[in-house]
Structure 1
Amino acid sequence: MDLRALLGLKALDEVGSALFVQPHPDDNEVGAGGTMAKLAAKGCRVVSVTVTDGRYGAMGGTEPEALARRRQAELEAACKALGVREHIEFGFEDLGSYAEEDVVARLIPVLLELRPEVVVTVDPWTPYEAHPDHLKVGRAVAQCAVRLASLTVPQGSPPYVPRMFAFYASAFANTAVDVTDHWAYKIQAIEAHRSQFDTPEWPALKAYFEYEARQAAERWLGNAGNGRLAEAFKLLSPRQLHFFPQAMSS
């Protein structure tokens, strides 16, 4: 049985509109920056949402409010590098006491207004993921599939539920996007987040990101990757986000 065809799934880089939801400034770039750049270059409507202000994303004597302002400027530069013209900030406090349901409440109106074909976020079910912002945001995005398909969200006609959900940084990836021709834009966008990556360990991180991308290409693009670079995702339909125990292995 062709489960993907049955569920209406298609290649992630063939969508006409996409919403990328990140817990912090820089998560989208690290997890899916090449895909964002590729879609934007093809004329796809790409919108980025940042849930928290990233104010605690550093060690040392930096003042949290100053870091939040700096990270906002870095985020704007990163979006420009990727060709992403639309960006929304929710402004929740990094590592704050907001709840998953608070994110859902902010995200539902955005989804109903934009009606993206796919929603992309971090995978909250990756083993050993300990960051509470990643857990809350990833699960909130998934919960939107259930909420939009219920009477808790008043809708007109036609009703809307995203056709696809894609999770990056996933231990259970089932597809990948060839981003070879857009890798330089991804790296440029990541480097725009100087507060996070202008460190002595950046050369090693950069090499690791490329290693991961080559591994993903070898696994998902065929012909042993042929030296290509890819970003891996767990791609699911909304039906696989409720009462579907085989989703992990789908």
Structure 2
Amino acid sequence: MANILIVGPHPDDQELGMGGTIALLAGQGHNILLLDITNGEPTPYGDPETRKSEAHAAAKVLAPEGAPPLKRLLLGLPNRTVEHTIEARHKVAAVIRAHQADIIFVPFFEDAHPDHRAVTRLTEDARFDAKLSKLDLPDPVDQWTGESMPMGEPTYPKWLFYYYATHLRWVANPSFVVDVSGFEQTKIDSINAYHTQFVLPEKNRRVVEWVRASLVYMGSRIGADAGEGFFTREPIGLTGFSQLS
């Protein structure tokens, strides 16, 4: 099984972009860590404690019955002002090492939200830093709980994929689509766990309908009931074609 790191600028980005895939991978038994770079606050209806509760509730929704619970860690960079600094980069690299990530998922690199762009660039560079010898990195500390993760050896995740949770009004052109048929409602429930973001603000309730529409559209591209698209800058190697949808 793979060690999978799913990076979100704010709690809810991972669920919006790839909640169905997270549930699918969790059900397959992979070791999944959700890394929230910021706590997402301030927002009109939220507060730090509520967002913490919502984030952990969403993670529980995405772990199917009988699957290992999803881990979630808050890095604690400031919301709305995430910057690409060496210090921030090394904090992300430390999480990559501590988790010994094989696969990383990050937001698509073209986005109107500065935090999204900064987080993706940070993680791309941290992926490289995580493999460097003679680079001392601090043990990651979860700002949700105050608990630390023990540091691992230098490592270089083999894959980095981009999920779509963009603020740009454009049509995604994914490199591949994951069949998430059967996980549609799980994804929706994980999004609605963020009550302060998608239930209380009336204008945001339509986001859930957009997510449903996207699931159907992406699924239609591969002949499935539901799908989630991903992008890669690196070619994916195949040993056969039996798994192609």
Report the TM-score when normalising by structure 2: 0.76
Offset at 1:75? 0.3
In structure 2, the partner of 1:34 is: 20
Counterpart CA distance in 1 for 2:156 and 2:235 is 8
Q: Report deviation, 1:144.
A: 2.1
2:158 maps to: 163
Q: 2:120 — aligned with what?
A: 138
SS in 1 for 2:36: strand
Aligned equivalent of 2:142: none
2:47 aligns with 67
2:14 pairs with 1:17: no
Which of 14, 38, 63 aligns to 1:52? It is 38
Name the CA distance, whole Å, in 1 between partners of 2:230 and 2:28. 20
Instruction: Report what 1:3 is aligned to.
Output: none
Q: CA deviation at 1:159?
A: 5.2
Deviation of 1:139 after TM superposition, in Å, equals 0.8
How many residue pairs align between the two structures?
A: 210
TM-score by length of 1: 0.75
Distance 2:56 2:197 in 1: 15
2:231 pairs with 1:230: no
Q: Distance in 1 between matches of 2:60 and 2:153?
A: 34
Alpha carbons 1:19, 1:118 under 8 Å: kept: yes
After superposition, give the CA deviation of every residue in 1:3-32 in whole Å (9 maximum; x if it has no partner): xxxxxxxxxxxx622110100010000001
Q: State the percentage of identical aligned residues.
A: 24
Instruction: Determine the C-alpha separation between the residues in 1 that align with 2:37 and 2:87.
Output: 10
How many Å apart are 1:132 and its aligned residue? 1.6
| Aligned counterparts of 1:71 and 1:141: Cα–Cα separation in 2 | 23
5+ residue gaps in structure 1?
1-14, 240-250
Looking at structure 2, the residues matched to 53 and 203 of structure 1 have their Cα atoms a distance apart, in angstroms, of 21
Task: Give, in whole Å, the separation in 1 of the partners of 2:27 and 2:114.
Answer: 33
Contact 2:90 2:129 (C-alpha < 8 Å) held by counterparts? no
Distance 1:212 1:97, change over 3 A: closer
Match of 1:86 in 2: 71
Please tell me whether residue 110 in structure 1 is matched to residue 95 in structure 2. Answer: yes
- Is the Cα–Cα contact under 8 Å of residues 132 and 154 in structure 2 kept in the other structure? no
The correspondence for 1:77, drawn from 57, 67, 70, is: 57
